[in-house]
Amino acid sequence: MRRRKQKKADQAEVNMTPMLDIVFILLIFFIVTATFLQEEGIDMRPPPDAPEQPQDPPPVILVQVDHQNRVYVNQRQTDVERVLAAVNRERAENPRSAVLIQPHDESRHGITVTIWDDMQANRIPVSINRQRGGS
């Protein structure tokens, strides 16, 4: 009797070289891209000391327009065309002073705009604080 030679079952081998190449390429890619990421955190340093504020703030020149369209510069009634002259008189005493326009809700907007334009044209700092309701 003849003996049959038993063949061993063919074993499948996995070639690991290409897989290792891919793993190393991915590793290099993630290392390179991770260096460009910048993590942001909270700045724990205290803020720098603020410069000293002047003890005596400049006075404000108050320009009011009431509900009957009368104009007052520092509580003195003035004509709309003479507001700039009155403001310049006040600024002669203190050139750093700014103008605060306080129009009433029911006053004409054109008066406020005229005063604003006059101040802006003469480079006088100006802001508006609207009065609400009442008379």
Burial letters for 92-131: b for 16+ Cβ neighbours within 10 Å, e otherwise? eeeeebbbebbbbeebeeebbebbbebbeeeebebeeeee
CB 96 within 8 A of CB 59: no
pTM for the predicted model, two decimal places: 0.56
Give the pLDDT confidence score for residue 43 in this predicted structure. 74
Mean pLDDT by 10 residues, the chain (135 residues): 65 82 91 72 78 75 92 93 92 90 90 92 87 56
Which segments within 10-129 are labelled E, that is strand? 60-65, 71-73, 76-78, 98-103, 126-128
